Amino acid sequence: MARITHGLTTSHIPAVGAAIDLGKTAEPYWKPLFAGYDWTKAWAKENVPDVIILVYNDHASAFTPEVVPTFALGCADQFPPADEGYGPRPVPVVQGRADLAAHLAEGLILDEFDLTLMYAMEVDHGLTVPLSLVYGQPDAWPTRVIPFAVNVVQYPPPTAHRCFMLGKAIRRAVERFDEDLNVHIWGTGGMSHQLQGPRAGFINTPWDTAFLDRLVKDPDSLAQLKHLEFVREAGAEGIELVMWLIMRGALGPEAEELYRFYHVPGSNTAVGHIVLQSVETP
Amino acid sequence: MARITHGLTTSHIPAVGAAIDLGKTAEPYWKPLFAGYDWTKAWAKENVPDVIILVYNDHASAFTPEVVPTFALGCADQFPPADEGYGPRPVPVVQGRADLAAHLAEGLILDEFDLTLMYAMEVDHGLTVPLSLVYGQPDAWPTRVIPFAVNVVQYPPPTAHRCFMLGKAIRRAVERFDEDLNVHIWGTGGMSHQLQGPRAGFINTPWDTAFLDRLVKDPDSLAQLKHLEFVREAGAEGIELVMWLIMRGALGPEAEELYRFYHVPGSNTAVGHIVLQSVETP
Amino acid sequence: MTSYTAEFDDIPGTRVFTAQRAKAGYELNQFCMSLMKEANRERFKADERAYLDQTKMSQEQKQAVLDRDYNTMIDLGGQIYFLAKIFATDGLSYLQAVSTMTGMNIDDYQQMMLHGGRSPEGWRSIKDGN
Amino acid sequence: MTSYTAEFDDIPGTRVFTAQRAKAGYELNQFCMSLMKEANRERFKADERAYLDQTKMSQEQKQAVLDRDYNTMIDLGGQIYFLAKIFATDGLSYLQAVSTMTGMNIDDYQQMMLHGGRSPEGWRSIKDGN
Ligand SMILES: [Fe+3]
Ligand SMILES: [Fe+3]
């Protein structure tokens, strides 16, 4: 059977991708940010999963103003990088895992999650920047990736509670897959940031820190948070944090914190990065 | 406040649309079928709602093999008829009701239904044939329509239970809309039919009749039916009947049967048509 | 892992369109969608083989289209609502096209439908033989 | 009916992208999507006005684009991830473009970010003044 053993969260700031692509990671501005991923890079080299279920949001790249899916599951074999206006990022094409994606589609829809299935999709910085942060600049990504896109652009996004329940359902579905697979799940986006209006640049470090603590120890309480609190306390784009609850729900009731990094600023954003290990309960 | 007062189900057979468009409704083959809608046409003339929420499935017209949404809500102002290979049907453009659709989008997503929102969409025979059956061939449809498309093409469709719960949530959301509106809800597709393979032409009249009875009096029991039973007893395309449970859920616990018509054949399909009135319970 | 899909295989003469089949039939169904444009229908009718050769369909899929062999198209991942774009281009109705999958001629099929359709008896379950 | 959306209006200097705004901004955001193609970016840069006049955007929306007035674009239904295609075409980063909405110059904004970002104090609620 397949198992979700680890979870990881990270911001997916586009400027971080640009810094990597343009070879600026050693510059004084960027150095402390990238240093915060050194532990993870070493850990990830020793712990390559068979598949990553990568929860992210599309930033008006694959999804046009015509079609706004709440949850979109990537069922294709390949997902090329999108051209977000600067030209596509020079990163490898993401290799999917269509058999597991088809299995997840079945399990989750029967579990009453109303997915949209994607058989052709380009992926933007929301998905590729986390891969670059953890795996650097390889010729090919070392693992398969199933993209799972969440609408956090148009209101309302799914509730925190819905996301947490979805994570639990993903865990159940993965465990019903016949093949022995080591699966990781990543939640991306966040932490506090706002990219619009006079309030842009908003950062709330105490709230972010408490969020990270509760994500590890008390995710049930986070699942009760309303959208209003996310926007008020973490900024308009801090709403991306609902996606981290999908990751956390998929780890099961207990999780052990292996590593944490928090840094301000990454461009306009507070960088939050945590690596968790599922503690199996009988 | 807005209220859902009536529900209606009907098959949406493409050949029925062609018979109307080509002026063949008086031919011996078609006459008994269209006669079955006479009561409804007269009733509909006297009972024009402000809006119809029209639950249907797209037949590979708006949704390509790339994108398969489980539930898609039409949020646009207009929905033109699709060209399904014979040229677009000569019917009026469907006029939407974007303010109510936006309200439904909010209410249903916060109620944890994972909708896909459509801001541009063509509509096929699944939506336009029912309008033609009830309203004939006017220059403009006499009412606004919010299209609600359900995936019943790729397996798994949503469960019967999920559809029934969605109907209940639609009722709640409509009742939270400030404006006084009279809303009808239609469920289309079905009844028993199969359009593929050596088993094509499958019709199960006893099962259909029992389904209609239970739809009125005991929808909770229908909500427990599995996909396997729909396919086994109502044919591969009889799975469309899950959509009727959305309609029924939206009428509230009790409904009164105003009219019923059942006829075989309409092309490959058993035609089922029923008109229900919601019995408000305190 | 295949438990959900597998149970449908017990129903005689039926293929439900699973996620797996959707992947296998992707290019075939995309070709069908292309026939929603009048200009493409004209190009297809003018030279079917040339039109098909511009797609990424498998040789088998192309041959099944040329043969209008709908059962084979479904075996190769086609889905009837996509395939409908082919028979619409041919000017056929659903009834006419669907009958070709049953091994009956169109008149016999039409007669069966006029007499209440195919009876469920014997068509419910391979295992239970009912 | 507007209760869900209305509560966000209490947050200072913030516009959440509601279904209503998505409708109002539809053509503006579609224009932005068109800039995901290099050829379109070149055409836009060559003659911005002519490019905009080929769209169905309102005059106000077009003017806001020409002025690179992002706050107004957001008021007219633009959403930042769509609008990002405009400043990407201009070769600007998110930080550079976003700073223009704050009334601060880029250096002051950058300094604020380096010192931990904009403090939440006073930016939580208009009603509560905190
Ligand atoms: Fe983001
Ligand atoms: Fe249908």
- Grade residue A29 by pLDDT with cuts at 50, 70 and 90: very high
A touches C (3+ CB pairs < 8 Å)?
yes
Report the b/e string of B90-105 with b at 16+ CB within 10 A.
ebbebbbbbbbbbbbb
The pLDDT of residue C58? 98
For the segment B115-120, the average pLDDT, to the nearest whole number, is 97
Nearest CA in chain B to C87: B85
> Which position has the token pair 């699944």?
B126
Residues of A in contact with B105 (CB under 8 A): 156
Distance B63 CA to ligand 2 centre (A): 14
List the catalytic residue out of A59, A193, A263, A273: A193
Beta-carbon contacts of A98 under 8 Å, excluding residues fewer than 6 positions away, are: A75, A76, A77, C23
State the smallest CA–CA distance between residue C11 and chain A in angstroms: 19
Q: Tell me the residues surrounding ligand 2 (ion) with CB < 5 Å.
A: B 189
Distances (CA, A) of C53 to A9, C33, C38, C69, D118: 46, 16, 19, 18, 59
Residue B38: how many other CB atoms lie within 10 Å: 10
Residues of B in contact with C56 (CB under 8 A): none
Say which range, A224-238, B44-58, B267-281, has the weakest mean pLDDT: B267-281
Whole-angstrom Cα Rg for chain A = 17
Residue A110 near chain B (CB below 8 Å): yes
Residues of B in contact with D1 (CB under 8 A): 103, 176-179
Distance CA(B74)–CA(B146), nearest Å, equals 6
Distances (CA, A) of B180 to B2, B65, B99, B130, B265: 5, 40, 13, 25, 40
Ligand nearest to the CA of B268: 2
- For residue B188, give the amino acid letter: T
Omega before B265 within 30 of 0, i.e. cis: yes
Whether residue D1 has pLDDT greater than 60: no
- Grade residue A213 by pLDDT with cuts at 50, 70 and 90: very high
Nearest CA in chain D to A227: D8
Residue A179 near chain C (CB below 8 Å): yes
Residue D52: how many other CB atoms lie within 10 Å: 18
Nearest CA in chain D to B102: D19
The pLDDT of residue D2? 52
Distance CA(B22)–CA(A157), nearest Å, equals 46
Nearest CA in chain B to C25: B65
For the segment B35-47, the average pLDDT, to the nearest whole number, is 98
Whole-angstrom Cα Rg for chain D = 16
Specify the long-range contacts of residues B25-34, CB closer than 8 Å, at least 24 apart: B32/B263, B33/B263, B33/B266, B33/B271, B34/B133
Whether residue B212 has pLDDT greater than 60: yes
Residues of C in contact with A99 (CB under 8 A): 20
Distance CA(D78)–CA(D74), nearest Å, equals 4
Tell me: the pLDDT tens digits for A129-168? 999 999 999 999 999 999 999 999 999 999 999 999 999 9
- Grade residue C2 by pLDDT with cuts at 50, 70 and 90: low
Question: Cβ(A8)–Cβ(A40) under 8 Å?
Answer: yes
Query: Cα-flanking dihedrals φ and ψ of residue D78, to 5°?
Result: -75, 155
Contact A15 D16 (CB under 8 A): no
Q: Subunits with at least 3 CB pairs below 8 A relative to chain C?
A: A, B
D78, two tokens? 């633009």
Helix (H) or strand (E) holding A109: helix A98-110
Contact D1 B176 (CB under 8 A): yes
For the segment D95-102, the average pLDDT, to the nearest whole number, is 96
Residue B12 near chain D (CB below 8 Å): no
Whether residue A282 has pLDDT greater than 70: no
Entry pTM = 0.97
**How would DSSP label each residue in B165-216?**
HHHHHHHHHHHT-SS--EEEEEEES-SS---SSTTTTB--HHHHHHHHHHHH
Parallel, antiparallel or unpaired: strands B71-74 and B144-150:
antiparallel
Nearest CA in chain C to A177: C1
The conformation of residue D104, written as its DSSP 8-state character, comes to: S
Distance A77 CA to ligand 1 centre (A): 24
Distance A207 CA to ligand 1 centre (A): 19
> Which position has the token pair 């599309």?
A58
Tell me: the pLDDT tens digits for D40-80? 999 999 999 999 999 999 999 999 999 999 999 999 999 99
C touches D (3+ CB pairs < 8 Å)?
no
Residue A264: how many other CB atoms lie within 10 Å: 20
Distances (CA, A) of B42 to B45, B278, D47: 5, 19, 58
B·C CB contacts under 8 A: 157
Whether residue C1 has pLDDT greater than 80: no
Tell me: the pLDDT tens digits for B152-189? 999 999 999 999 999 999 999 999 999 999 999 999 99
Ramachandran assignment for D103, one of left (phi > 0), alpha (psi -120 to 50 degrees), beta (any other): left
Whether residue C5 has pLDDT greater than 90: no
Catalytic residue list contains A193: yes
Instruction: Identify which of C121, C120, C98, C119 has the alpha carbon closest to the alpha carbon of residue C110.
Output: C98
Question: Cβ(B185)–Cβ(C109) under 8 Å?
Answer: no
Question: Cβ(B125)–Cβ(B84) under 8 Å?
Answer: yes
Q: Which ipTM was obtained for this model?
A: 0.96
Ligand nearest to the CA of B12: 2
Ligand nearest to the CA of B190: 2
State the smallest CA–CA distance between residue C43 and chain A in angstroms: 26
The pLDDT of residue C3? 66
State the smallest CA–CA distance between residue A110 and chain C in angstroms: 9
Instruction: Identify which of B257, B265, B211, B262 has the alpha carbon closest to the alpha carbon of residue B7.
Output: B257
Ligand nearest to the CA of B17: 2
> Which position has the token pair 């998110």?
D94
In DSSP terms, A183 is beta-bridged to A4, A51
Residues of B in contact with A159 (CB under 8 A): 110, 112
Beta-carbon contacts of D83 under 8 Å, excluding residues fewer than 6 positions away, are: D32, D70, D73, D74, D97
Please compute, for residue C45, the number of CA atoms within 13 A of its CA located in the half-sphere on the CB side. 15
The conformation of residue B81, written as its DSSP 8-state character, comes to: B
Distance CA(D24)–CA(D27), nearest Å, equals 8
Distances (CA, A) of A109 to B30, B111, B113, B230: 39, 17, 12, 17
Residue D98, helix vs strand vs coil: helix
Helix (H) or strand (E) holding B259: strand B254-266
A170, two tokens? 């993903």
Catalytic residue list contains B125: yes
Please report, rounded to a whole number, the percentage of residues in chain C having pLDDT higher than 70: 98
Query: Cα-flanking dihedrals φ and ψ of residue B96, to 5°?
Result: -85, -170
**Distance from chain centroid for Cα B201:** 22
Mean pLDDT of chain A: 96
Nearest CA in chain A to C20: A102
Distance D104 CA to ligand 2 centre (A): 57
Distance CA(A20)–CA(B37), nearest Å, equals 66
Substitution target from C8, C9, C14 for chain B, most B beta carbons within 10 A: C14
Work out whether the CA dihedral B196, B199, B201, B207 comes out positive or negative: negative
Please compute, for residue A16, the number of CA atoms within 13 A of its CA located in the half-sphere on the CB side. 33
State the smallest CA–CA distance between residue D16 and chain B in angstroms: 13
Residue A178 near chain C (CB below 8 Å): yes
For the segment C94-117, the average pLDDT, to the nearest whole number, is 96
The conformation of residue B76, written as its DSSP 8-state character, comes to: S
Distance CA(B29)–CA(B14), nearest Å, equals 15
The pLDDT of residue B175? 96
Distance CA(B279)–CA(B276), nearest Å, equals 9
Question: Cβ(C96)–Cβ(C87) under 8 Å?
Answer: yes
Tell me: the pLDDT tens digits for A45-101? 999 999 999 999 999 999 999 999 999 999 999 999 999 888 899 999 999 999 999
List the catalytic residue out of A12, A125, A263, A273: A125
Helix (H) or strand (E) holding C33: helix C26-34
Query: Cα-flanking dihedrals φ and ψ of residue A64, to 5°?
Result: -85, 175
A88, two tokens? 């596509």
Distance C81 CA to ligand 2 centre (A): 9
Residue B179 near chain D (CB below 8 Å): yes
Instruction: Identify which of D124, D130, D119, D116 has the alpha carbon closest to the alpha carbon of residue D13.
Output: D124
Distance A13 CA to ligand 1 centre (A): 7
Distance D24 CA to ligand 1 centre (A): 23
Residue A103 near chain C (CB below 8 Å): yes
Whether residue C56 has pLDDT greater than 50: yes
A53, two tokens? 């279920």
Please compute, for residue A172, the number of CA atoms within 13 A of its CA located in the half-sphere on the CB side. 14
Contact A106 C23 (CB under 8 A): no
Substitution target from A114, A117, A170 for chain B, most B beta carbons within 10 A: A114
